[in-house]
Amino acid sequence: MSSIWRGRLGISVFGEASGPAIGVTVDNLPPGEYIDTDMLRFQMGRRLTDRTGLVTGEAQMPSIMSGIQGCRTTGSPVMALITNNEFHPDESGNAPLIARPGNADYTGAVRYKGFNDLRNDGHLSKKLIAPLIFAGAICAQILERRSIYVGAHIAQIHNIKDTPFDPVNIDRDGIVQVRRKAFPVISDRQGVKMRSDIARAGSCGDSLGGVIECAVTNLPVGIGSPMFDGLENTVSQLIFGIPLVTGVEFGAGFKAAQMIGSQYNDEFYADDHGYVKTRTNNHGGILGGITSGMPLIFRASFKPNPTLGMAVNAIDCTTLENTVTGENSAELPCLIPSYVPAVEAAAAIAVLSHIADYPNF
């Protein structure tokens, strides 16, 4: 089971949902970088939401075991642990493996020959976004001291859409403003509609999916390389490490297939300060795998939470008999709000990994 990502940085996520701890190791961070632990705690808390998607409060701060002293990175790997306060030794014995629809119970059991931890999805659990968020929050702080900002918002839940980012003029203030909201949308009116839709689905024991849009501003030109080391390659790989992701698109994305070339192409021009820009940003800030200097814009789609608050048909993998699983009312009917900081984290890791060897970084 590979949970190690290696670019110029290295990210290793470890642990299982019902084990004593989960955590992350971040390798090859630049030394001497100041890390604001209050901001780390704030970012970790953004993944904790109520049943309507509203952020509920502060999260447990991971225990930093190495790599940071006196709020400064030391150059050695940063390792952090998030302890499980509800940990109990496994007493499940030979509990049957029930393959629930939409979950990785069946595929995981076949891939790991039935030896994988089945409690609360084990290493495949949605809880494993927490270490990723921690790693990304560190990377985001390092980027922000270079005036590079990463931010995301809920672009869509079910069939309700938020106002999109302005792909040409998104700035720091727009990113920070959304980040500090308890429900991260640009249009609060649309946010109210989304929360009502989430509550309605939850009352029926059902769930909703959606789309998260992410932007990175003030990126210098020339980051990334064709063909397999493009910035969009790296972003996509990290985004697909987040559970429930079904797709990623950059700029105009799949809408580009409906355009003709003269509509899609973004015309270059030199502004009054001598900077080269494009009048539109259908390319999403990346051309040939390399940043253009325009904002990086991408969207990630997520399927609905497959664990429902209702009884569903399933199969017992031990006996291969059809069965029915009980309802799980503890599951959130929509995970999109809690995944916003995870998308930001993936983008921050990807950008910092690419920019680390950029001249004058």
CATH code at 296?
A: 3.60.150.10
Distances (CA, A) of 95 to 91, 92, 106, 315, 334: 9, 6, 15, 14, 28
Residue 287 belongs to what domain range? Answer: 4-355
pLDDT at 249: 98
**Residue for token pair 């106002």:** 163
Does 247 reside within a domain?
yes
What is the percent of the chain where pLDDT is above 90?
72
Share the mean pLDDT of the chain: 90
18-68 residue pLDDT tens: 788 899 999 999 999 999 999 999 999 999 999 999 998 777 789 999 999
pLDDT(89) > 80: no
pLDDT(92) > 70: no
The C-alpha atoms of residue 5 and residue 143 are separated, in whole angstroms, by: 19
pLDDT at 301: 98
Does 361 reside within a domain?
no
179-217 residue pLDDT tens: 999 999 999 999 999 999 999 999 999 999 999 999 999
116-143 residue pLDDT tens: 666 655 556 678 899 999 999 999 999 9
Does 360 reside within a domain?
no
**103 vs 305 pLDDT, higher one:** 305
Does 127 reside within a domain?
yes
Tokens of 345: 């984290």
Does 37 reside within a domain?
yes
* Phi/psi-derived region of residue 128, left when phi > 0, alpha when psi is between -120 and 50, beta in every other case: alpha
Does 155 reside within a domain?
yes
Partnered with residue 277 across adjacent β-strands are 269
Does 319 reside within a domain?
yes
The C-alpha atoms of residue 338 and residue 133 are separated, in whole angstroms, by: 11
pLDDT at 103: 80
**314 vs 333 pLDDT, higher one:** 333
Tell me if 345 sits within 8 A of 137, measured CB to CB. yes
Number of domains in the chain: 1
Work out the number of other CB atoms within 10 angstroms of the CB of residue 131. 26
What is the percent of the chain where pLDDT is above 70?
92
pLDDT at 109: 76
Tell me if 294 sits within 8 A of 278, measured CB to CB. yes
| Nearest residue to 81 via CA among 136, 20, 40 | 20
Of the pLDDT bands very low, low, confident and very high (cuts 50, 70, 90), residue 96 is: low
Does 180 reside within a domain?
yes
